[in-house]
Structures are given as structure tokens and as C-alpha cells.
Amino acid sequence: ERRPDSSLRLNGLSVRFGGVRALNGIDLEVRSGEVVGLIGPNGSGKTTLIDGVTGYVKASGTVELAAVRVDQLTAHRRARAGITRSFQSLELFDDITVEENLRAAADKQDGWAYATALFPARAQAMPAAVGTVVETFQLAGVLDKQPKELSYGQRRLVAIARAVATAPAFLLLDEPAAGLGATETAELSDLVIRLAKEWNIGVLLIEHDISMVLGICDRVSVLEFGEKIAEGTAAEIRKDPRVIAAYLGT
């Protein structure tokens, strides 16, 4: 499952909502195999950054995948090109099984327009890529269940597994640990590290659980009011005075 080396680079990414400047000239790079954290107070522009990179909102500036500009592509094509996201709201199909959710993702590899793939998918043998995802996420026991029958923590895992089933080069996770307990968060951390280090996926991790971020990220960027105010290793971020003032507290 190891992916070829690549990079995802943002240059001067900016997003406006009417008069509100939600994101202002952000430069950021994620390389294959890295986990890069994105933290900042509520409303600082983290989700907007993912929306801008994936094409869900209109942004100015450039987005390059493997040194090729993708910022003029539709969200659908960026997903096909290998930039996949998860949503805070999960966006799982609740009335089909976990297996169908995964297989539709793997078959279409187009992010989120899964529905049309569901019926043909059912008749085929499970693609190897999905088998690997099932194994990695330990979902064999719940494949025949519908997401609505699962615990909250399991549903969050399935949502990430589904993103991984699209075979992304880059995975943008929007608060994957929200609502998870300590044990589940630790398991999720291990999974994210495996996806980066074993599968060579580049991960951009938005997360409020600051100890998770500082614990697993190779580098961390900090946003405040749509600006990047700091960037560095977890150790550097922990002692950055601007970060402490803006976000970490005393």
C-alpha cells in the first residue's frame, strides 16, 4: 500500500466570505509520509483551509500536488488526483452497510459522489485495496452493519477508513478525534501514524485535542484570524510565546 513520494503545497491561499477574510495568504507544505498538524482557535480558518485545498470553497493562491497546479480543478477532480478529506460531520451513508460505504469509495475514488457506484459494487469481489483498509482499521466484524448501528467511535473510524479507501496521496482530517474517549483517541493516533509511515500518505490533521496533535505530528502550523502565526515541530510550538498567548493558554 505504500504510495509514491509526493508533495502538497499551498502558496498564498486566501478565502473571503463576503467581507470576512477567513484565510489570508497561507503557505503550507505537506510531504508524503508526514503528519502535519493544523491548530488554532475556533473560527481561525482551519476548516476553510481544507475547503480551499479540496475545492469546496473558492480560494485564491495556488495549490500544487506533486508540483502540478490543481487549484483550477473541481473538487471531484482534486479528489481523483489524490487529495481526500474527512468531514467533521462524517457524511457516511447510513442506510447501506459499512462494506458498501468502503467499496463505493474505492470504486469511484472521487470523494463523495458515491451513490451511483453502489449497485455495481455489490456484485463484484471486494477490491484488494478495500481488504487492506478493512484489515488496517479492524473493521471485519462490522462490514455487514449499517453505520447507524455502530457506536459513535466506530462511525468515526469508518468515515476515515472510507477516505483511505479512495487511495489518497494526501489525507486531510477535520477533527477526527472529536467526541472520542482517551482509548479511542490513542487508537486513532496509531492509525494515523501507520497511514503516514507505512502507507506513505501525507496527512494534514486538524484537531482540538492538542496532546494528540503535539504527540503525533512531525510539524505543526498554527492559525489565528486566518493567518499562520507559527510553524514548527511540536517542541517548538509548545514554547512559542505567540502560540501560548493565542491558543495554548498559560
Residue from 37, 45, 147, 168 that binds ligand ADP (CB under 6 A)?
45
> CB 228 → ligand ADP: shortest distance, Å?
12
The one among 10, 30, 35, 48 contacting ligand ADP by CB under 6 A: 48
In this structure, how many other beta carbons lie within 10 angstroms of the beta carbon of residue 240? 19
Residues 6 or more apart from 3 whose CB is under 8 A from it? Answer: 32, 169, 199, 200, 201
Q: Which of 6, 44, 86, 221 binds ligand ADP (CB under 6 A)?
A: 44
Closest CA to 100 of 123, 82, 76: 123
52 counts as binding ligand ADP under rule CB under 6 A: no
Site for ligand ADP in 8-27 (CB under 6 A): 17, 20, 22
CB 48, min distance to ligand ADP, A:
3
Q: Which stretch binds ligand ADP (CB under 6 A): 39-47, 138-146, 182-190, 195-203?
A: 39-47
Calculate the alpha carbon distances from 225 to 206, 228, 247 in Å.
16, 8, 12
Nearest to 68 by CA among 58, 84, 48, 83: 83
Angle between the N-to-C axes of helices 98-108 and 152-165, in degrees from 0 to 180, rounded to the nearest 10: 20
Please, what is the minimum distance in Å from the beta carbon of residue 53 to ligand ADP?
Answer: 12
Residues that bind ligand ADP (CB under 6 A): 17, 20, 22, 40, 42-48
